[in-house]
Chain A
Amino acid sequence: MSTPTEELKPLAKKKKKVPFNYEPYIRGGKLPHIWCPGCGHGIVLKSLLRAIHTTGMSKDDIAMVSGIGCSSRTPGYVDFNTLHTLHGRALAYATGLKLAKPKLKIIVTTGDGDALAIGGNHFIHACRRNMDMTILVYNNAIYGMTSGQSSPTTPQGMISTTGRYGSIEPPFDTCQLAQAAGATFVARGTAYHFQELEKIIYEAILHKGTSVVDIIDACPTYYGRFNKYKTPSEMMEKIEKEGTVSVKQAEKLTPEELQGKFLRGIIHRSERPEYCEEYNKLVATVQAKK
């Protein structure tokens, strides 16, 4: 990739179109990434990098933290402070890091398995504390890395390695779970809606407190193959485009029409004391008494 130089002729009326330059954000020599052909994680990463670029934050002020999974490989490709930790424990590490270095902007990239199965306990307690961090759940409704076991978001009836005849478990709705547990910014996007996703992630990063974004994307290799989707594009059409409605569209739809659709956009936003600020206040009060 090369950086395009914009040579504007003096009389040119319209600015020439140039592609976004991802190069400054990618760790040298790390591409191609390990994700399979058509894996949605790459599209999500690109929306995330554009969102970070728009915030204007310095790369050194950002720390990206992950657990284990295909999605959790994200920090390995980016040129920020990065921490690739244990399966399910990204939020525990993120919490410790934020306490030690409260000025860092923490972005957690995690999977539906990492965040909601093995890491489900950390997830609800992170939401409850409202510590300033952004949690991005790359939700492909399956354990991609370990070859396609059911996850807590696998929809009923869908096939996986551990659900050969279709899952019978009711899934979690990541956003409802996050909101109920106390997250103060809750949103959903998809890889298909890449521009909307970029804006949502931007808002999530700027929000003070725990932000959760459920990002629906595709695992063509396992979820796609097991469930008879022919191409990655077909998964994007059927699951991400047809399977979701924006919060705005949803206002005009009946409960029947909303059946089986996921809401997209900012679903919940509120203000509550932020954990590190409360902690600092407590320290100051206790010290003043000494």
Chain B
Amino acid sequence: MAVAEKEKRTFRIDIYENLCKGCSICVDYCPTNVLAMDGNLVIVKDLDACNGCQLCDNRCPDFAIQVFEE
């Protein structure tokens, strides 16, 4: 029996612009380079690469980023 192809999990990244202080911690620790800095604000540059690990949220000091599985 063929192994069923793994369904791709997709995620939504919410960035709270009023809370983000642009420290770049989430960008530096994202293992798959999903995030980037745009001046003093973090932006999503490659959502498709997100694996939902939540490292960005867990190390964000400012409650400014959350990742939801869709």
A binding-site residues for B, Cβ under 8 Å: 1, 4, 14, 16-20, 22, 26, 31-33, 35-43, 46, 191-192, 194-195, 220, 231-233, 236
Residues of the A chain whose Cβ atoms lie less than 8 Å from the Cβ of B21: 32, 36-38
Question: Mask for B1-22, Cβ within 8 A of A = 1, else 0?
Answer: 0000000010100001011011
Residues of the B chain whose Cβ atoms lie less than 8 Å from the Cβ of A192: 59
Which one of B16, B23, B67, B68 lies within 8 Å of A38 (CB-CB)? B23
Which one of B11, B16, B24, B66 lies within 8 Å of A232 (CB-CB)? B24
A231 with B69, Cβ < 8 A, contacts A19-B54, A32-B62, A39-B61 known:
no
Contact B63 A46 (CB under 8 A): yes
Chain B nearest CB: distance from A19 CB in Å? 4
Contact B62 A42 (CB under 8 A): yes
Contact B61 A42 (CB under 8 A): yes
Q: Is the interface of B mostly helix, strand, loop or mixed?
A: loop
Chain B nearest CB: distance from A215 CB in Å? 13
Contact A31 B24 (CB under 8 A): no
Chain B nearest CB: distance from A177 CB in Å? 27
Pairs of residues from A and B, 4 with the lowest C-beta to C-beta distance, nearest first: A42-B61, A38-B23, A37-B21, A233-B28
Residues of the A chain whose Cβ atoms lie less than 8 Å from the Cβ of B16: 1
